[in-house]
Amino acid sequence: MGRRGLASRLIKLPCQPEMMMHNSSFAAQAVADGPQTIAPPSFNGMGWLVVTNLAVMTIATLIGVMVIVKLVGDWWKHRRQDVRFSPAAIYRFLGIMFAAGITLRCGAEAVNLWGWNPHDPLATGMYLTAKRLIDPIAVSCGITALMVYILSEPGMIEQQRKEPFPVDMWLAWPMVQRMLWLGLSTFVAAVGVVSTR
């Protein structure tokens, strides 16, 4: 075969990235064909908005995990004392469901923002698709918590009015302090990441 024939065959062969993108998801193809920005194009080039979303989503995810770990630990510790439909058990279940919804939704978004890379459209497309799969589960957690709240509200209020007394809101202040410090350090990390991209 002559050089001209070999050259014509090589020209017709797509390069490896093109072959990979041809067999990839629609999300990966959209990332590859879109603008090569350091963050999703929906931020419209506003760096401060990228930092805000990156920090808030990460902070919410970490706080949600902290709350879930605490409440599940409390449930296990008091599983014999707090019966199935006791006010304490219901209140704890509501907290777990709300925290799970926030953790799933914000966690999926945080992974998408931290992992955004137009030079790796396959991984970025996978993050985008995973977020769409997780969103309904996160919303279901929130709706479940709202339904349980509505169902338990009459009985809970009746129980709470039997011995009305002010609640000490500062018993868990050390945990809230840890959340605030975690939020501050995460915000600083988000600023550093966006600034160095």
The pLDDT assigned to 40 comes to: 87
pLDDT at 101 over 90: yes
Most confident of 37-41, 140-144, 186-190: 140-144
The pLDDT assigned to 5 comes to: 46
Least confident of 34-38, 55-59, 73-77, 186-190: 34-38
What separation in angstroms does the CA of 49 have from each of 44, 59, 67, 83? Answer: 9, 15, 27, 46
Least confident of 76-80, 98-102, 145-149: 76-80
Are 187 and 59 a contacting pair, CB within 8 Å? yes
Per-residue model confidence as pLDDT tens digits over 18-45: 444 555 688 888 877 777 888 888 888 8
Q: Compute the residue count for the chain.
A: 197
Mean pLDDT confidence for 177-184: 90
Mean pLDDT confidence for 151-174: 82
The pLDDT assigned to 193 comes to: 82
What separation in angstroms does the CA of 149 have from each of 15, 44, 90, 92, 95? Answer: 57, 39, 8, 11, 10
Q: pLDDT confidence of 16, banded at 50, 70, 90?
A: very low
The pLDDT assigned to 22 comes to: 53
CA 191 to chain centre: 19
